[in-house]
Amino acid sequence: MTDTTDTRSHMPLGLAQRGYTGVIQHLAAKQAGSALSDVELESRLIELGFVEGARVEILHEGLVGRDPIAVRVDNITIAVRRREAMAIIVA
Amino acid sequence: MELPLLHLALVGTPNSGKTSLFNALTGSRQKVANYPGVTVERKEGFFVTPMGRQVSVVDLPGTYSLRGRSPDEEITRDFVLGKATGETVPDLVLCVADSTNLRLTIRLLLELKRTGRPMILVLNMFDIASRRGITVDVERLAKELGVPVVTSIAVRKGGTADLLALTDEISAKLATEPQENSWRALSVSELRATQREADRIIADCVSLPASPDTWTARIDAVVLHPVGGLIVLTLILFVMFQAVFAWAQPAMELLKSGFDALGELVQATLPEGLLQSFLQNGVISGVGSVIVFLPQIILIFLFILLLEDFGYMARAAFLMDRIMGGAGLHGRAFIPLLSSFACAIPGIMATRVIDNKRDRLTTILIAPLMTCSARIPVYTLIISAFIPAKDVWGFINLQGLVMFGLYATGIVSALAVSFVIKFFMIRDYTPAPFMLELPDYKMPRLKSIAIGIYTRAKMFLQRAGTTIFSMMVLIWFLASFPQPPAGSTEPAIDFSLAAMIGKALAPLLAPVGFNWQIAVALIPGMAAREVAVAALGTVYAIEGGKEAAEQIGQVLATKWSLATALSMLAWYIFAPQCASTLAVIRRETGSWGWMGVTFTYMLVLAYAASLLTYNVAVALGAG
Ligand SMILES: Nc1nc2c(ncn2[C@@H]2O[C@H](COP(=O)(O)OP(=O)(O)OP(=O)(O)O)[C@@H](O)[C@H]2O)c(=O)[nH]1
Ligand SMILES: [Mg+2]
C-alpha cells in the first residue's frame, strides 16, 4: 500500500476519519459555519492549542454522525464537534 | 511590625489543581474533581506562611484566557483585573499549571503577565509528570518567562512546602507601588504569537517522552467506543440506581430498628401526654423517618464522586453531546444534569460553564426534573410499601426496577421539556460549539471521596436537624391542636388545624387521588422534598393513636390505594417541591420571571401526570 501524495494534501480536520494523524497547516474559521464569529472561533481554537504546526490525531468519534471527535493535540485530548473542526486545516 | 494581609489569587487552566492547592494551603474542603469546570465561584481562605505572614488566598474558576466567555470565566477575569467592585487586586498571582500539559498554561501566563501583577508559576501535579518521565528545567523556565517557578504536589502532604517558602521570599520584596496594567483582549494574531512563544519556551525547557498515558488510552478505547461507550454509560447509571435501592437496605433496616426502639423507649418511659406525643410522633416518627434514608443518600453520592474523581464525567459529556443535541441540549449540560441527581442546586450552579445563554437557561430550567437525592425517601417509602420485592428475569429486583423507571421518567421528561423549549423559542439556531478537554484518568483518592461523603452526610443531617425538624414541630403542632373535646370518639386529629387545612385543600387534589393527609404533607414539603415523608409519618402517627409505633410504610399500605401511591410517585417526579432550588434559579438567571416559569411548568406537569396516572390506574382496577 502506497501513501499517495493526494492523501497528504490539505483538508479540514472535520472530514478526517478516526485514526487520522496530521499537522495543522492553518485555521480557516470562515469555512466552519460555526455559531461563533470567525474571530471568536479562531481564538478559542488557539486557546485550546490548535495552532499551526501542532500534531493532531483523531482518537475517537461519537455515534451520531461520527460526531463529536476526540482529538489529540500534542499531549492533550480535546473533544470538538466536526462543525468546528472544519476550521482546522490539516495535512 | 505587623505586615498587611498578603492577597494571593489562584489562576490557571481548568483542572490544573487550583482547588486542591487551595485546600492544601488553607485546610479547606472545597470540591475537587477530575474534570474541567468544577469551581464556578470565587472562594477565599486564609493561612499563615512558615515565616508568619498572614495570607488571604482566593480560589477562582479555571480559564484558558482572560477574555471571560462564560459566567465562571468572567469571575476570574474580573478578579484578576480588579474589576469586581470593592475588591482588592491580588498582590501576587499564583498561576497554577498541570505539569503534564504546559502549553496552554504557559500561553495563559504570558497573557497574565500583561496585567502587571507579580506572579509565580506553580508546576502542580509534578508527581504525575515525574512518573511519566517529563523533565522540566525549572531555572531556565523561570529565566525565559521572567517569572519565578516552583513545583508542587497539591494532593501530597508537604507537597506545597517549596511554594510556601517561595511565597515568603517573594512577598518580602514585593513592590508596593502599583504596576502598569497593559492587558486588553488579545487579537487573534497576538494569541497565535503568544502560543508560538509558549511552544518555543517549552521546547527549550521541557523534555516530553513520546508516549502518552497508556492507561487512559486503553480505558478510552472501551469507554469512548461509539457503541460500547453508550452501553457502558447505561450500565453505570443502571447499576447506580439499582444499588441505591438494593445495597442500602441492610443499613437502612438497622437505622429503622434503632428509631423503633427509641420510640418504644419513649412510649414506655414517659407518661402519656403532649410531651410523649411530641417526641414520639413529631421527632422520632418525623425526623427519624427521614434520617433512615442516609445510607441511600451516601450511596448515590459515592457513585457520583467516584465518577467525578476518576475522570469519567467529561467522557460522558462527549458520548452524550449529539444525543442531547437532538433534544436541544448542549453537551456541556451533561455534567450539571448528572450532578443534579445528587441535588439540583450545585447542578444549577455548575451551568455557569456553559457560555451560550440559551443553552444555559434551558439546562437550568430542566435541572430540577433530574431525580435529586431528596426524592429518594419519598420514592423508597412508597415503593417499599406498594411494590412487591420480587425478582424479575431472575436477577433484577422489581423495586429497583421501578426506581430506575422513575429516574428514567425524570430524564426523558427533562429531554422532552428541552425539546419543547428548542421548538418554541429557538427555531433557527446553529448549535453553540462543544469544546471540552478530556483529562487523563486518575485513581480516585480515598481521602477526597471520604471528605466528599462526610460533607454531604453532614449537610443532610444538618438539614434533618434544622429545616426538617422545624417543619415537623409545625406539623406536629397543627396536627395536635386544637385538642378534641373531652369524650369525643373520633380520632383526635380530625379536630386539628391540620385536618382543617388538609380538608380545605382536598377537593383540589381529589381528582389526582390525594387525600387530605397528603394535602397537609405537601405544603411543608415545599421547604424540602423529604419533609413530605416526615409529615406523613407524623400525621398518620398522631391519627393512629396508640398503635402509632407501626412503620409509616405499613400504615400507607393500608390507608392508600395503589392508584393513589402511583399518583404520588408521578407527582414527585415533576412537582417543584423545593424552595431552595427555586431561589437558586432566581439568583442564577437573575430573574423572578424564570423562577416563575419553572415553578409553573413543573406544577402543571405534576398535576397532569398525577391525574393521568391516577385515572389510568383506577381504570385498570388499582383504585
Ligand atoms: N496526582 C496529583 N493529582 C492532583 C494534584 N493536584 C490536583 N490533582 C487532581 O487533579 C484533579 C483536578 O483538581 P482540582 O483541584 O479540582 O482542579 P482545579 O484547577 O480546581 O479545576 P477547576 O476548578 O475545574 O478549574 C483532581 O482529580 C485532583 O485530585 C497533584 O499535585 N497530584
Ligand atoms: Mg477548582
Q: Residue B26: its pLDDT value, please?
A: 96
Q: What is the mean pLDDT of residues B498-526?
A: 89
Type and span of the H or E element at B55: strand B54-59
Q: Does the pLDDT of residue B32 top 70, yes or no?
A: yes
CATH number at residue B52: 3.40.50.300
Ligand 2 centroid distance, CA of B44 (Å): 12
Domain end, chosen from B535, B560, B585, is at B560
Domain end, chosen from B560, B592, B613, is at B560
Q: Residue B1: its pLDDT value, please?
A: 53
Query: Are B78 and B158 in the same domain?
Result: yes
The percentage of residues in chain A with a pLDDT greater than 70, rounded to a whole number, is: 91
Q: pLDDT (tens digit, 9 = 90+) per residue, B88-145?
A: 788 999 999 999 989 999 999 999 999 888 999 999 999 999 998 899 999 999 999 9
**133-192 of B, contacting A, C-beta below 8 A:** 186, 188, 191-192
- Average of per-residue pLDDT values in chain B: 88
Q: Which residue of A has its CA nearest to B223?
A: A60
Q: How many domains does chain B have?
A: 2
Query: Are B263 and B181 in the same domain?
Result: no
Ligand 1 close to Cβ of residue B62 (< 6 A)? yes
Q: Are the CB atoms for B599 and B369 separated by under 8 Å?
A: no
Range of the domain at B485: 248-292+447-560
The percentage of residues in chain A with a pLDDT greater than 90, rounded to a whole number, is: 71
Q: What is the mean pLDDT of residues B561-577?
A: 93
Q: Mutate which of B13, B65, B99, B103 to disrupt the A interface (most A C-beta within 10 Å)?
A: B103
User: Å from A11 to nearest chain B CA?
Assistant: 20
Quote the CA–CA distance of B257 and B263 in Å, as a whole number.
10
Q: Which residue of B has its CA nearest to A83?
A: B433
Q: Are the CB atoms for A56 and A87 separated by under 8 Å?
A: no
Residue B79 lies in a domain: yes
Ligand 1 close to Cβ of residue B17 (< 6 A)? yes
- To test the pocket of ligand 1, the residue of B10, B11, B13, B15 to mutate (highest count of ligand atoms within 8 Å of its CB) is B15
Q: Residue B175: its pLDDT value, please?
A: 67
Query: Are B280 and B140 in the same domain?
Result: no
Nearest atom (ligand 1) to Cα of B38: 24
The residue with greater pLDDT, B528 or B120, is B120
Q: Residue A1: its pLDDT value, please?
A: 44
**24-63 of A, contacting B, C-beta below 8 A:** 33-36, 39-44, 46-49, 51-53, 59-63
The percentage of residues in chain B with a pLDDT greater than 70, rounded to a whole number, is: 96
Q: What is the mean pLDDT of residues B344-354?
A: 91
Query: Are B152 and B275 in the same domain?
Result: no
Query: Are B17 and B152 in the same domain?
Result: yes
Quote the CA–CA distance of B191 and B205 in Å, as a whole number.
21
Grid-cell match 418525623, residue found: B286
Across B91-166, the runs of DSSP E, i.e. the strands, are 92-98, 119-124, 135-136, 149-151
Query: Are B488 and B555 in the same domain?
Result: yes
Residue B62 lies in a domain: yes
Please give all residues whose CB falls under 5 A of ion ligand 2, grouped by chain where several chains appear. Answer: B 18-19, 38-39
Q: What is the mean pLDDT of residues B14-35?
A: 95
> Domains of chain A, with CATH numbers?
11-90 (2.30.30.90)
The residue with greater pLDDT, B489 or B496, is B496
Q: pLDDT (tens digit, 9 = 90+) per residue, A22-70?
A: 999 999 988 888 888 889 999 999 999 999 999 999 999 999 889 899 9
Q: pLDDT (tens digit, 9 = 90+) per residue, B390-438?
A: 877 777 778 888 888 898 899 999 999 999 988 877 656 677 889 999 9
Residue B538 lies in a domain: yes
Query: Are B194 and B59 in the same domain?
Result: yes
Q: Residue A3: its pLDDT value, please?
A: 47
Ligand 1 close to Cβ of residue B125 (< 6 A)? yes
Query: Are B19 and B86 in the same domain?
Result: yes
Residue B579 lies in a domain: no
User: Å from A7 to nearest chain B CA?
Assistant: 25
Q: Amino acid identity of B218?
A: R
- Average of per-residue pLDDT values in chain A: 88
Quote the CA–CA distance of B155 and B121 in Å, as a whole number.
18
What is the band of B588 on the pLDDT scale with cuts at 50, 70, 90? very high
Residues in B closer than 8 angstroms to A60, CB to CB, are 220, 224-226, 318
Query: Are B14 and B145 in the same domain?
Result: yes
The residue with greater pLDDT, B265 or B14, is B14
Residues in B closer than 8 angstroms to A84, CB to CB, are 433-435
Q: Which residue of B has its CA nearest to A77?
A: B438
Closest CA to B541 of B286, B288, B287: B286
Q: Amino acid identity of B182?
A: S
Query: Are B48 and B154 in the same domain?
Result: yes
Residue B589 lies in a domain: no
What is the band of B377 on the pLDDT scale with cuts at 50, 70, 90? confident
Ligand 2 centroid distance, CA of B41 (Å): 9
Q: Residue B400: its pLDDT value, please?
A: 80
Query: Are B119 and B257 in the same domain?
Result: no
Ligand 2 centroid distance, CA of B313 (Å): 15
Residue B487 lies in a domain: yes
Ligand 1 close to Cβ of residue B384 (< 6 A)? no
Q: Does the pLDDT of residue A4 top 50, yes or no?
A: no
> By alpha-carbon position, which residue is closest to atom 21 of ligand 1?
B15
Domain end, chosen from B560, B590, B605, is at B560
Residue B511 lies in a domain: yes
Q: pLDDT (tens digit, 9 = 90+) per residue, B245-302?
A: 778 888 888 888 888 888 888 888 888 778 888 887 778 877 887 888 888 888 888 9
Ligand 1 centroid distance, CA of B321 (Å): 24
- In this complex, how many residue pairs, one in chain A and one in chain B, have their CB atoms less than 8 Å apart? 125
Taking the model in full, what pTM does it have? 0.88
Type and span of the H or E element at B435: strand B435-437
Closest CA to B472 of B537, B375, B392: B537
Tell if the CB–CB gap between B199 and A79 is shorter than 8 Å: no
Cell digits for B623?
A: 383504585
Quote the CA–CA distance of B103 and B247 in Å, as a whole number.
45
Residue B582 lies in a domain: no
Ligand 2 centroid distance, CA of B275 (Å): 49
Query: Are B172 and B285 in the same domain?
Result: no
The SS3 of residue B147 is coil
Query: CB distance from B197 to chain A under 8 Å?
Result: no
What is the band of B181 on the pLDDT scale with cuts at 50, 70, 90? confident
